[in-house]
């Protein structure tokens, strides 16, 4: 399955948070979430929405034994947690140990098939990406100053809505105004795609997928703007660079 | 819960501002002041301090949140002991991963309670899935007695639909959500508050599986649009 349909991703994220996405679909979605920032954001949004519904659930007090049990497992240096005693309700699993032997054999067999014929499970493109042989299809831009020093790296997955702006060279925060990132289509007027942090990196949500926004963009610039919401670049160009398709 | 002494009065002892006072029975105002200062810490600040290994702050986080989170867990699991086991796992996970909490993701503000509820729900749903694989006949008498003693029978608690109606009322989206048919809201409520799968919702409502899937999907879409009107993840 290709996870490029934004409606499908939205539906999967909602089902995942609700708890109705189960089995293989749940595991595939969790792998996808681990790989893609835009999917993580969708999940976060649904956790926020559905979390509102939990506020009507009446509070209840557990037994007084619970906190001592938690404290016993968490006190002391972090990372050196006390061993956990399996919960009593999992006791039924013990007699089923022999059954798990068969399960383990099944898992080993499935693993062997996966390594022998991985394309039965995922596409060759995904295998290449996971093995590090290929980067995921993305739009990237390296913006430099007038002297050609790399300053800002912009990246976004081709079919994602999240954009990362990373400062890779020292830049001086302006005393007045702020740095605004502009996309310049080969035909048409430039449009603002976000602001630039003074240091580190920032992830923001784009109004549409990168494919729709950047497919005809050839150049990126960062200007210093004093207006709160500039509609076109008026300030001086601080950094500029090309927008490239990485696939 | 029983959190006494230092842990009840303030976070880390070496913290200048929140330092725990020596117990002086003749100076009760000192302890009252320490507690008041502790109360000024937000959940976000408590999580941040827990991430730095401040166990008393973690204890305070537990004190403020555990009854609500236990309510979430027991709503899904019913059984009191199972819900306590899940809550124990959840808080250990919170302690280990407190540094992973982000108050803002891509411009989206994340409330601490949202983060905590998600952790507890996920663990409760995992436990529920494991348990539903058991045959009903394998449920021990102890489990049944525990459920009874915790008062989790349906008659003692509001139904899933009642909880959904209460939540939508509190969120001021009840008019917006009432545009949905009752079966749509009922199926969404069963899936959310009781952690039921599509198949289980269909069985409980006596409705075709395909219909239930469509109802829940439509319910989620409606919830999204209604909350957006209130500025929640617009």
Whether chain B has a CB inside 8 Å of the CB on A89: the answer is: yes
Residue A6 is predicted with a pLDDT of 84
Provide the chain B residues 128-167 that lie in CB contact (below 8 A) with chain A. Answer: 129-131, 134, 138, 143, 150, 157-158, 163-164, 166-167
User: Is A203's CB within 8 Å of B106's CB?
Assistant: yes
Best interface-test mutation with A: which of B73, B78, B88, B180 has the largest number of A CBs within 10 A? B88
User: Is A60's CB within 8 Å of B58's CB?
Assistant: no
Residue A54 is predicted with a pLDDT of 95
Residue B4 is predicted with a pLDDT of 41
234 residues of chain B, pLDDT tens digit each: 444 444 444 566 544 333 444 445 555 555 555 555 667 789 999 999 999 998 989 999 999 999 999 999 999 998 889 999 999 999 999 999 999 898 877 677 789 999 999 999 999 999 998 887 764 445 544 554 444 444 344 434 789 999 999 999 999 999 999 999 999 999 999 999 999 999 999 999 999 999 999 999 999 999 999 999 988 876
Residue A75 is predicted with a pLDDT of 86
- Bridging pattern class, strands A162-167 and A178-185: unpaired
What is the least distance, in Å, from the CA of B161 to any CA of chain A? 11
Low-confidence residues of chain A: pLDDT under 70: 1-3, 76-134
Residue in B74, B171, B195 nearest the CB of A19: B195
Pairwise CA distance, residues A121 & B4, whole Å: 54
User: Is B106's CB within 8 Å of A162's CB?
Assistant: yes
Distance separating the N- and C-terminal Cα atoms of chain B: 38
CA distances (Å), origin A29, targets A23, A24, A71, B198: 10, 8, 34, 18
User: Is A57's CB within 8 Å of B72's CB?
Assistant: yes
Pairwise CA distance, residues A245 & A155, whole Å: 10
CA distances (Å), origin A90, targets A66, A192, B80, B111, B134: 17, 55, 14, 33, 11
Pairwise CA distance, residues B9 & B21, whole Å: 8
Residue A168 is predicted with a pLDDT of 87
Residue A146 is predicted with a pLDDT of 87
CB atoms near residue B71 (< 10 Å):
20
Residue B102 is predicted with a pLDDT of 84
- Which chain A residues are closer than 8 Å to B83 by Cβ? 62
The strand pairing partners of A165, in sequence order, are A154, A202
CA A3 from chain center: how many Å? 14
The dihedral built from the CA positions of residue B67, B71, B72 and B76, taken in this order, carries a sign that is: positive
- Which chain A residues are closer than 8 Å to B75 by Cβ? 57
- Contact yes or no for A243/A214 (Cβ under 8 A): yes
Quick: pLDDT tens for A93-134. Answer: 555 555 656 666 666 666 666 556 655 555 555 655 655 566
């Amino acid at each position: 399955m290709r996870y490029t349909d934004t409606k499908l991703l939205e539906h999967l994220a909602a089902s995942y948070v609700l708890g109705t996405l189960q089995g293989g679909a749940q595991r595939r979605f969790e792998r996808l979430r681990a790989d893609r920032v835009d999917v993580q954001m969708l999940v976060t949004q649904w956790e926020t929405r559905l979390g509102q519904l939990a506020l009507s659930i009446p509070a209840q007090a557990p037994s007084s034994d619970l906190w001592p049990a938690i404290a016993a497992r968490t006190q002391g240096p972090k990372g050196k947690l006390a061993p956990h005693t399996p919960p009593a309700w999992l006791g039924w699993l013990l007699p089923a140990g022999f059954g798990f032997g068969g399960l383990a054999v099944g898992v080993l067999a499935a693993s062997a098939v996966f390594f022998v014929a991985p394309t039965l499970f995922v596409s060759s493109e995904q295998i290449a990406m996971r093995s590090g042989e290929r980067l995921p299809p993305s739009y990237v831009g390296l913006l430099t100053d007038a002297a050609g020093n790399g300053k800002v790296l912009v990246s976004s997955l081709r079919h994602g809505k999240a954009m990362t702006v990373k400062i890779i060279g020292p830049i001086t925060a302006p005393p007045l105004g702020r740095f605004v990132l502009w996309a310049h289509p080969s035909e048409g007027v430039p449009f603002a795609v976000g602001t630039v942090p003074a240091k580190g990196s920032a992830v923001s949500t784009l109004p549409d997928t990168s494919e729709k926004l950047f497919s005809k963009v050839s150049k990126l610039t960062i200007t210093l703007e004093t207006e709160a919401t500039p509609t076109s670049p008026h300030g001086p160009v601080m950094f500029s660079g090309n927008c490239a398709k990485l696939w | 819960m029983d959190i006494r002494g230092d842990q009840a009065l303030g976070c880390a002892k070496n913290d200048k501002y929140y330092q725990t006072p020596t117990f002086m029975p003749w100076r009760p105002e000192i302890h009252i002041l320490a507690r008041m200062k502790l109360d000024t810490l937000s959940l976000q600040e408590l999580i941040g301090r827990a991430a730095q290994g401040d166990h008393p702050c973690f204890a305070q986080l537990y004190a403020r949140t555990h009854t609500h989170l236990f309510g979430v867990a027991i709503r899904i699991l019913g059984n009191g002991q199972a819900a306590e086991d899940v809550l124990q796992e959840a808080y250990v996970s919170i302690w280990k991963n407190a540094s992973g909490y982000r108050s803002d993701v891509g411009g989206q503000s994340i409330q601490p309670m949202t983060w905590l509820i998600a952790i507890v729900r996920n663990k409760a749903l995992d436990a529920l899935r494991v348990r539903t694989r058991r045959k009903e006949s394998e449920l021990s008498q102890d489990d049944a007695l525990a459920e009874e003693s915790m008062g989790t029978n349906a008659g003692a608690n509001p139904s899933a639909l009642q909880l959904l109606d209460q939540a939508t009322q509190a969120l001021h989206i009840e008019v917006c959500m009432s545009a949905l048919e009752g079966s749509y809201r009922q199926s969404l409520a069963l899936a959310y508050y009781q952690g039921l799968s599509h198949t289980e919702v269909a069985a409980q409502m006596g409705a075709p599986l395909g219909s239930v899937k469509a109802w829940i999907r439509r319910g989620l879409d409606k919830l999204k649009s209604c909350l957006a009107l209130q500025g929640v993840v617009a």
